[in-house]
Amino acid sequence: MVDSASAPPPEPQGPPEPAVEFTDTGASTGIEAEDIGEAGRMPFDPELIDVTPRSPTIDLVLQRLKRGLIDLQPDFQRRSGIWNDTRQSRLIESLLLRIALPTLYVAEEPDESWSVVDGVQRLTSIVRFVKPEAAGLKPLRLQNLEYLTQYDDAGFEDLPGRMQTRILETELSVLLIRKGTPEEARFNIFVRINTGGLPLSQQELRHALIPGRARTFLAELAESEEFLEATAYSVSPSRMAERELCLRFLAFWMTPPERYVTQDFDGFLRRTMHAINALSDTELSTLRRRFRVAMVGCDLLFGDQAFRKQFRGITRRYPINKALFEVQAVTVARCAPHDLPTLLDRTGTLEARFKELMDDPAFYDAISSGTGDADKVNYRFQSMKDLFHEVLHA
């Protein structure tokens, strides 16, 4: 029998375990689910919405792809949930059986190219089978068919001519959001239709609807060793959560928190992607260096607890909190070079003061609910700035 007098005191429970975001397969992304609050969306004129139904044949769609007028966004495929060969083969079987496919939703860009938002997996399956070289994809050979088993292991060229023609002449149902439709309206439309299966995350929508170098730049930052080490390799890339973290750092680095006055946090992040698209190579290099400095600094100062809630007397590690990521990373990035050695010598004090800050109900609220509210954004950034100042001058 254990002597209760000598047993260690139980660990404080602290706040309830936060909910997390999930991948396509139901696993944790390693990111705390966020309550961003009510979005103060920019108004738009409904009369400017221009959505046109189209019925192009697969052959015409492939011609657009060959001319670079369809953006399939290869890196948009959810890495853990991409359709396997069997599922892609059975979609081809549906075409051969003359079973209509669900409607594709695409957005028209200024150059009249199409960005595919809903239907990437379906189009990718068709392209892999019929013309994989048009998109640099691995050819698909049919497998595990349910009805047309005679075509198992067949490639497109192995099909009888009439079956090849049947595929190429299949008409696809496409809803095209024309280029004159305001961006806010385009996002609103896709949010409304984004209800089937596992809905796209906000970052997946931004990625689909805002083409340009911001896509590859965010991917580069998210795959950097500095980011992976600072986040303890704990963020799943399947829903682009890691790219959103990088985008949020860039947003508040390029637009200081005190100048954030909108309630439309999603619009704020979209505008940042457009701003990144307009930067020169030199400006991107400067951003890249600053991001890496922030990641290395956070890793050194906070260790494997970087970007996570911490509470006095509690040792378990919480998931990464998006609001803490942006506030810690930007605050570290804004430190003078000569301050970092001092902070490194006082990491114990930094940790203790941070846990004290987590006891502040207003700060806890600012990183937990309504995180897109301008007052809460400013409060959490000012609180972290004050904390660093106190540690430096302790």
Contact by Cβ (8 Å): 140, 93: no
Residue 79: is its pLDDT beyond 50? no
* Mean pLDDT rounded to a whole number for the chain: 88
Place of tokens 């508040």: 252
Rounded Cα gap, residues 138 and 141, in angstroms: 10
- Averaged over 301-319, what is the pLDDT? 92
Neighbouring C-beta atoms of residue 28, cutoff 10 Å: 15
- Averaged over 47-59, what is the pLDDT? 89
Residue 10: is its pLDDT beyond 60? no
Question: Which pLDDT band, with edges at 50, 70 and 90, does 120 fall under?
Answer: confident
Residue 389: is its pLDDT beyond 70? yes
Q: What is the pLDDT of residues 137-187, one digit of tens each?
A: 899 999 999 999 999 999 999 999 999 999 999 999 999 999 888 887 888
Cα 41-46-49 angle, rounded to 5 deg: 105
Question: Which pLDDT band, with edges at 50, 70 and 90, does 2 fall under?
Answer: very low
Residue 39: is its pLDDT beyond 80? no
Q: Give the lowest-confidence range in 31-45, 321-335, 379-393.
A: 31-45
- The confidence score (pLDDT) of residue 24 equals 57
- The confidence score (pLDDT) of residue 202 equals 86
**Choice between 192 and 212, residue whose per-residue pLDDT is larger:** 212
* Tokens found for residue 292: 């890496």
pTM for this entry: 0.77
Rounded Cα gap, residues 243 and 275, in angstroms: 16
- The confidence score (pLDDT) of residue 21 equals 65
- Averaged over 320-327, what is the pLDDT? 97
